[in-house]
Structure 1
Amino acid sequence: MEATLLPEINRRVLAGEPLKRILQFICEQSVEIFDAGFVWIGQKERDGRIRMLGAAGSAGHYRDELERIGIRWDDDALAAGPGGQAIRTGRTVHTAVLDPDFEPWREQALAAGLHSVISVPITVGDRVLGCFSLYFRHGQDLIGSKTMLRIEQIGERICLAVERMLDRQRIHALSAALEKADDAVFITDPSGTIQWANEALAIQSGYALEELIGQSPNILKSGKHDRPYYDRLWQTVLKGEMWIDETIERNVRGENYIVRQTITPILDEAGEIACFVAIHHDITERKQTEEKIRRLAHYDSLTGIPNRALFYDRLHQAISLGERHHRRFALLYLDLDGFKPVNDLYGHRCGDAVLRISAGRIAGQVRSSDTVARLGGDEFAILLHDVTEEHAAHRIAENVIEAVSAPMNAEGQQIEIAVSIGIAFFPHSGRDADALIHEADRAMYEAKRAGKKTIRTAAFQNR
């Protein structure tokens, strides 16, 4: 269930499903995945309240108690809870029901069998818009870092869903404004010469109206479509049929933009084409948002390198090619040494900067054909294609250690960390993805036990 949740959230967001329905789905799935007693997602209101947009769990009656008592994010006493703290600080809050700050809701929570809470802020850009809160029937000491990471990953998808909704609202507002101005509209004669255009086209293209009149629409050509594309367009409209398609145009500044183009032939009384009416609806922002969502599904939002999903996809491809063509490759599993104290001493912003710098340094030590991915937290992996010798993979690992261990400036702090690396080889360490990851991970932990800046190679198996 967990493996399909994030892609399903992305699918629902791309499909334009209402936000409240997506948030309710996330709450219901999170209850199952994390065995939570109660899960809710709330929106920060201007008057200081937190309004629930979705909730689920066997302790669902606790929702009525929360709403009766109240939940806030401002400086009120009812803002001291995990949700209010997460919104005020912009950080994940992990607390126990017995914590003094939880006093206003403690009796009701204990009556519902709830003992600990995690609340993740929902942010878009620099703004905190709400929180994602999970209540558990066990104490906070039973919730490990991996569970926290998984919860925060779902929190990231909630942020993206909210951002997508806001983008859709902006696009809708823009669309409504354009409809009042008839979008960008121009009329050509049967030969395609522009006879009339509205102000929206001038704004969209950057050309003055007097520059557009008498010109061919070719003035907007971006060069992104081939000759057959325009042949199909003309064949369609010359038959008297409407043409609707997405077209990449270019404005006067040389910048490309994307429109949903509708061209309608207008016939005279004799049934001959008298003119063409073209409507250009700008969909550039929507396309960029969709691309952002697609990229987020495969790339780590913090470092910009491939994420776990894309890494596993490429690992499976490498195994298939290796089996088919008898190719050997190496998998390196990396864990940063000394990263946790950075977060503890200097905060998560500094820690995030260290992760970004480290990712760049690791990627700088491999070929563009290889894959460097962030698997989560401070764990990374490298897929080295066509590495036939153990010493070659070992040399790259040494280069990575040297690069990562160099002093770095993160958020104004001079930081020095290290990295431990485990190496596994296909097919000698394993013939499937899970086996290779397991062997490389085990070798990495052997390296960590041996000390910082250490490399260990997984034992070859008789397979």
Structure 2
Amino acid sequence: GIRFVWIGASDKKEHFKPVTYCGDGEKYLESVASFIEEEPTYRAYVANRIIVNPDTTELDVAEALKREMLSRSYLSSCAVPLSKEGETVYVLGMYAEEPYYFQEETKDVLYELRHDLEFALNRLEDLQRNKLIASALENSTSWVVITERDGTITYVNDAVCQISGYSRQDLIGQNPRIFKSGHHTQDFYRSLWETILSGQEFHATFANRRKDGELFYLEQTIYPIELPNRTVKFMSVGRDITREVHLSSEVEKLTFYDPATGILNLDGIRFKAGELINKKKMCALFLVDLYGMSLINKNYGIQVGDMVLSLIAKRLQDELGESGVVGRVASDEFALFMPIVKEEESIILADRIEEVIGEPIYFEGERLKLSVNMGIALYPMDGSSFNQLHEKASIALSSAKKAGEGERRFFESAFEERVKEAALAIGLVSRAVEEDLFIFYYQPYFRGEDIGLAGFEALVRIRDKDG
């Protein structure tokens, strides 16, 4: 019968060593370690083929190895390599105490044994791999949901339960619409299904709802998986980004919103106006200065002034905010950016703005009333960007304020020219003071009654670089 069986393999350093054994061959393995290359089991490993030794006395190996085998009554042996993907990973060595226990005629049986062992080996590795994958999925902090082709949930990991607040019992057999928040359109879901049913991955940020009704956000990818039997399943893998979304929302508030009134600030209205401008529709920018706010702040205090600003902001949003955007862009200044169909419509909107702001405000029994100055610029006639429109509307507002309380002005190029000329003059005078460019010309003037010298008048000129 068989006296000894062992399994050998190479370690990471390419040393051929026993993995396990059964029988009386422990001393044999130790004694042949120095000339293992001669050992039939090692030869089978290297050649990746079954080697049969019917009679050890006739075995063509080193005499020392032959003596070692005969001394232990290993009179016949065979070696069966076990492969995976064409590469030998193990070799099975068997030693019998009878000559011709293993013969060439037994190779067919050995081939069947090899096939069965390789199948078992691969199956065992698959089971171990699946167990490892299952363990990784269970312990992962990522959201993992597996569904049938029709969307029926067949698997969820612990992270799904922790993030959503649902138990496994709640979810298995349900549809992912159980997480639906109502924040996505039908077009969004139509695109999702068209993509994954075509075999493509779908990636998006999902706004979902927990069991307790709270929103949570996932950065999620849905993968179509076709199994060997051509069954299709879908695996959803996601990362919880709820905290990041909330932080982003807070940053957006600080960046784009006015803390006193809660409406957009200048950066916010610039961003929103850019979206309207990109649609290439005619728009009007109204810059509105509240006439009388300084008096309210002085008589009633800053807190009452802030209350008035918040009330005006709410009125403007309620009356006009749905069709355009409303923001506070300076201490007493609001901006409204509104789409219009024709230029004349801007006059109607300006009247509405004045009417909304002009409604009385009552505080502790006293009646407060504001009026406005307004500067208006039109897109695309007065500029192709919000910054250009804001500059033109500011020029128009400045002209309106100079004209007096309650005045409004549309931007005209003549305003811009006068502003540019005034800016050039101020700049020239400042440079003349710094660089001593003034030249004084004195001219006498006389008394009429006796033609006596009455004094001198001075003419001041500035000498520029051209003289």
TM-score between the two structures when normalised by the length of structure 2:
0.43
When Rg is computed on C-alpha atoms for both structures, the one with the higher figure is 2
The higher relative CO (CA closer than 8 Å, separation ≥ 6) is in 1
Higher strand share: 2
